[in-house]
Amino acid sequence: MSRLTITLEDSLYRALKETAARQGRSITKIIEESLVLRGIKPVESARELVARARANSKLSEAEALDLAVDETRKARLPG
């Protein structure tokens, strides 16, 4: 597992710490979940998504990749 040091506004850090305590979870878990919700996933996840799309369709590799990129962008849009 890799380590990361980040700098946060004091108020945001306090809010994160309070949330973690209130939910009985670690700050690390909250940050990891937030990253996943923003669509930040390992490359393997993207490859698996493309492989599933191709297996369930008649798309070429390029078409499946384009579709995966489009769907990822849509999922990341706010609102």
Provide the domain limits for residue 66.
43-76
DSSP-based three-state secondary structure for 50: helix
The alpha carbon dihedral of 43, 48, 2, 73 has a sign of positive
Instruction: Work out the pLDDT band at 55, boundaries 50, 70, 90.
Output: confident
Instruction: Work out the pLDDT band at 64, boundaries 50, 70, 90.
Output: confident
Residues 67-77 have pLDDT tens digits of 888 888 888 87
In terms of C-beta density within 10 A (0-12 exposed, 13-18 middle, 19 or more buried), how is residue 44 classed? Answer: exposed
Decide if pLDDT at 13 tops 90: yes
More confident residue, 30 or 51: 30
pLDDT of residue 3: 92
Q: How many domains does the chain have?
A: 2
List, in sequence order, the alpha helices (H) in 4-79. Answer: 10-23, 27-37, 43-55, 61-76
Is 1 found in the same domain as 35?
yes
Is 29 found in the same domain as 51?
no
CATH number at residue 13: 1.10.1220
